[in-house]
Amino acid sequence: MRESDSVLTLKGIGEKSAKAMEKMGIFTVGDLLRAFPRRYVRYDAPVKIYEAGNGETVTLAGTFFSSPVSRKGRRLTVTSVTFSDGTGKVKLSWFGNPYLSKTIKRGEGALIYGRLLRDEYGVHMDQPQIISPAEYDEMMRRLQPVYSLPQGMSAKNWRKWIRNALTACALTDILPETIRNKGNYPDIKDALIEIHFPEDMEKLKAARRRLVFEEFLLFILQIRSLRGGGIKEKNGFLFPKDAYRKQLKESLQYDLTDAQKRVESEIISDMTGESRMNRLVQGDVGSGKTVLAQLAMLLAAENGYQSVLMAPTEVLAHQHYENTKKAFEAAGIPVRVGLLTGSMTAAEKRNMTAAVRQHEVDVIIGTHALITQKVEYDSLALVITDEQHRFGVNQRSTLAQKGVLPHTLVMSATPIPRTLAIIIYGDLDISVLDQVPARRLPIKNCVVDPGWRPKAYDFIRKQVDLGHQAYVICPMVEEGDDPDIVNVNAYTEKLREALPPYISVAMLHGKMRGREKDQQMEDFQSGKTQVLVSTTVVEVGVDVPNATVMMVENAERFGLAQLHQLRGRVGRGDAQSYCIFIDGSGKEEENKRLSVLNSTNDGFKIASEDLKLRGPGDLFGVRQSGDLHFELGDIYSDAPILQAAADMADRILADVSAGKTAGYEGLLEKARAASPGEKELGL
């Protein structure tokens, strides 16, 4: 069996399971082997209900004290039962698992694993696992992997399929032996065995270190080779006219910050200099990157050239289009702005592509539709990608190739210390917007435990009654093999039950179809929806000025950089805004880490402080790097591995340039074929 074979070749996986895996991006045996555990747990002996503290994840041994009761919510069925061990009772609830009402029998004994909460609703557990005694004995013996699984999929079956794949699959190690020896990395077979079924902590750490190194190395090889070794191309564009920029700035109702003025100067200097611009603008949430993009596009348009701005979602593309068009019209600037997205009708696309080809529009804003073969530009001088980490490396390269060496400006709201940014972004020149406009009210923050949740619901209700809106962020889309992690599907139903019926609660997550996601976001923007329960897809910079509350469940599961990104979704209007971080860990050190968000609104300081608190190489750590979605690696906690991978990539490319390719064939082939950028492993 090969890594490229379909998961259907594995014993026990049928069409239904394969379809569920496809939604997770798992198609092949290799994909399954690289669907790594979210974390690991060592199960302890059962405790008594009266001993369990509020917020603790525990195992209880007892009996079902009542018969299960199922009731239909607005979307999901809620099944509840009372469980007792003689020292107390706990209410168990499951969302979206109606079959449980037929399998749970009153008076039967069972082991229950989950997070126990004591609050005004009583003593309860949501989404606990039911485990047999024999299975639990085995689970207590060694570290157990915990995966993010589709709803209804058995963790037991998943682990069995992983074992089958490890036994049957002929794995090819793309890391040459010389590199493995130099870094003291295990071979790929041992690494995958230990990452899924660790024998001990030391072997688990070694396996993860090797896999993170490989992931970083592939990514950096692609970035380095794509940029041609840093050779500067000649600037083929002239910009003698420059009146529109002044016109736009005079029409603004605010002054640019000193940081915006500095970065604008760097951009214009690049565009009018001898070499083609290839610049990254790193700006914290709300630092004003968009107006800089508009100023650069005006310089191009005034001199007869076209510009494109590519956004990762249709909602964001529409927002850029409307804002840019209004800004130019308000300033009396005769620059034509067009929109091109995938959801437009065939006739609308045809008309817009013709207008682009015939240069009837100067600024074209859109999504991936901008890079299709049918789109031809007349004189493309400037390519801008917003929230650029959302695009694959090849996607941005394809867009740039639509013109003859156009200037490239990429924008990121992910705060990355300069030393790490230089490694990741390679040969891009880096500008940093390190100021936020003073006109915005500081966001009020609090870090609380799950017992505070009823008060948070009441606070959200009061904000909605005042005419405002709220986000609620969950780490997972649906129930997985981890009862501690809140998921969007179950939580949406729970919130609908907790809030008054007149409050509209909707959900948003990455597994929805593109148009459905955009519709949910549009409903929230328009005020049709008051509360949006979502995964981190909302961190891409869509403005909803009326949203004043950001509540993040399982905040301990996120890096501070990403939490800071999420926080930036509120505080965009005139009203006071609030962030509520629910820390479900019950650990003092996590509470301390999250409290850093109370001390500063500077994303770069937050990221650096997080790195200091956690230190490099943390095994399980939470995501520090926001949108840089590597499967295992994290640019903050794995900074030393990132540096080692960058050094090795430079050495490999130097060898290849000298004609020394022996031993690197598999690695180079994977770097070309895997396209980690296309899989959104990073930039």
- Write the pLDDT tens digit of every residue in 407-421: 989 888 776 766 677
pLDDT value for 620: 45
Average predicted confidence (pLDDT) for the chain:
83
pLDDT tens digit sequence for 528-567:
999 999 888 775 556 788 999 999 998 888 878 778 888 8
Instruction: Place 398 in a pLDDT band, splitting at 50, 70 and 90.
Output: low
Superfamily of domain 43-141: Nucleic acid-binding proteins (2.40.50.140)
Q: Mean pLDDT, to the nearest integer, of 392-415?
A: 69
Instruction: Place 49 in a pLDDT band, splitting at 50, 70 and 90.
Output: very high
pLDDT value for 682: 28
Superfamily of domain 234-275+288-412: P-loop containing nucleotide triphosphate hydrolases (3.40.50.300)
Residues of CATH 2.40.50.140 domain(s) within the chain? 43-141
pLDDT tens digit sequence for 194-234:
999 998 889 999 999 999 999 999 888 877 765 555 567 88
Q: Mean pLDDT, to the nearest integer, of 275-294?
A: 85
Instruction: Place 623 in a pLDDT band, splitting at 50, 70 and 90.
Output: very low
On the question of pLDDT at 494 being above 90, the answer is no
On the question of pLDDT at 183 being above 80, the answer is yes
* C-alpha–C-alpha distance, residues 581 and 583, integer Å: 6
Instruction: Place 321 in a pLDDT band, splitting at 50, 70 and 90.
Output: very high
Q: Mean pLDDT, to the nearest integer, of 491-499?
A: 89
Q: Where is pLDDT greater, at 609 or 574?
A: 574
Q: Mean pLDDT, to the nearest integer, of 282-311?
A: 90
* C-alpha–C-alpha distance, residues 40 and 1, integer Å: 28
pLDDT tens digit sequence for 629-657:
578 887 777 888 988 998 898 899 888 88
On the question of pLDDT at 239 being above 70, the answer is yes
**CATH architecture assigned to 444-600:** 3-Layer(aba) Sandwich (3.40)
- Tokens representing 325 are 């068009």
On the question of pLDDT at 100 being above 50, the answer is yes
Q: Taking the complete model, does pTM exceed 0.85, yes or no?
A: no
Q: Taking every pair of C-alpha atoms in the chain, what is the biggest distance, in angstroms?
A: 85
* Of 519, 534, 497, residue with least CA distance to 76: 497
pLDDT value for 478: 63
Give me the sign of the Cα torsion angle 184, 186, 192, 194: negative
On the question of pLDDT at 622 being above 60, the answer is no
**Amino acid residing at 343:** S
* Of 645, 653, 655, residue with least CA distance to 682: 645
Residues of CATH 3.40.50.300 domain(s) within the chain? 234-275+288-412, 444-600
Q: Where is pLDDT greater, at 74 or 54?
A: 54
SS (H, E, C) 262-316: HHHHHHHHHHCCCECCEEEEEECCCCCHHHHHHHHHHHHHHCCCEEEEECCCHHH
Q: Mean pLDDT, to the nearest integer, of 90-103?
A: 83
* Of 485, 659, 522, 492, residue with least CA distance to 95: 492
Instruction: Place 676 in a pLDDT band, splitting at 50, 70 and 90.
Output: very low
pLDDT value for 389: 46
pLDDT value for 225: 65
Q: Which of 95-104, 364-373, 502-511 has the highest mean pLDDT?
A: 502-511
pLDDT value for 482: 57
